[in-house]
Structures are given as C-alpha cells and as structure tokens.
C-alpha cells in the first residue's frame, strides 16, 4: 500500500543516515574503513560519519551523544542490513582475510525489494551487520 492509498500526508522515500552510538570513534572508523571500505567524513563541529553510496552512518560517542538522540543510546544495540556490490563469496573471503568472523551464513533472506543472500558479522561494538547481495 502506498502513502496516498493509506491517506497519509507523509511519504518516506529512503534512509539518509542512521546514528550509531559507539565506545571509540577511532576504532569504529578504522574498522568500517578497512573492513567495509566506507569513507570517513568530518562535518559540523568535528562530528564523524561513515559514508557509503548516498547514505551515511553518523557516530555518537557513548555518554556524549548529540541532542536529540535515542531514548537509550547504547553501543552494540544496532542491527543493520547493508547491501553489497559484489558477491557473498567474495565478501566472505575478504572478511576472513581481514580477521573478521562470519557468525552466520550465507543464508537466504527476504529483503525489502526481494530475496537476498546474507552473511552476519559484528563490528567492534557488537552491532550486528547483515551483509547482503541480491
């Protein structure tokens, strides 16, 4: 059902960014840069984000969150699915070479636009990342 059929005045189109609360910005940025190839961006008054495609992950340091923020910001509480540009097999090889343990997969999953092949890993804070290829 689209927004007009539901009678809603708001139509959500996409996700611009997600905020991750982290224990250590340097450790987090190094991992996402080195393991997942994201670029590091500094914006506003020295805030840090991880950019990939047309989205980004903004980082808040636990205990020093930017207002407004989630009700209970906690490192390791996120569960995010990221779409990959290559194959799952290539991702598994890359992760193993980087010393990152694949917790589960490859498995078949239902994505927002169709079937996905996914693997699951954790970042340095314990956030669960589903890495998927369609």
Q: What's the mean pLDDT when you consider all of the chain?
A: 95
Active-site amino acid positions: 130
On whether the CB atoms of residues 118 and 131 are closer than 8 A, the answer is yes
Residue 134 is predicted with a pLDDT of 81
Alpha-carbon distance of 19 to 57, in angstroms, equals 6
pTM above 0.95, yes or no: no
Query: Domains in the chain: how many in total?
Result: 1
On whether the CB atoms of residues 108 and 116 are closer than 8 A, the answer is yes
Domain residues for 99?
3-133
- Quick: pLDDT tens for 69-98: 999 999 999 999 999 999 999 999 999 999
On whether the CB atoms of residues 115 and 108 are closer than 8 A, the answer is yes
Tell me, what CATH number does 54's domain have?
3.10.180.10
């Amino acid at each position: 059902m689209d927004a007009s059929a539901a009678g809603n005045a708001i139509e959500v189109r996409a996700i611009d960014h997600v905020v991750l609360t982290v224990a250590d910005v340097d450790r987090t940025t190094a991992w996402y840069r080195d393991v997942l190839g994201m670029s590091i961006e500094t914006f506003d008054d020295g805030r840090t984000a991880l950019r990939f495609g047309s989205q980004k992950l903004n980082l808040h340091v636990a205990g020093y969150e930017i207002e407004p923020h989630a009700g209970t910001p906690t490192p390791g509480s996120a569960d995010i699915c990221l779409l990959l540009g290559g194959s799952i097999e290539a991702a598994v090889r890359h992760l193993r070479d980087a010393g990152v343990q694949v917790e589960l997969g490859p498995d078949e999953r239902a994505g927002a636009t169709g079937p996905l092949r996914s693997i699951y890993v954790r970042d340095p804070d314990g956030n669960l990342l589903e890495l998927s290829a369609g």
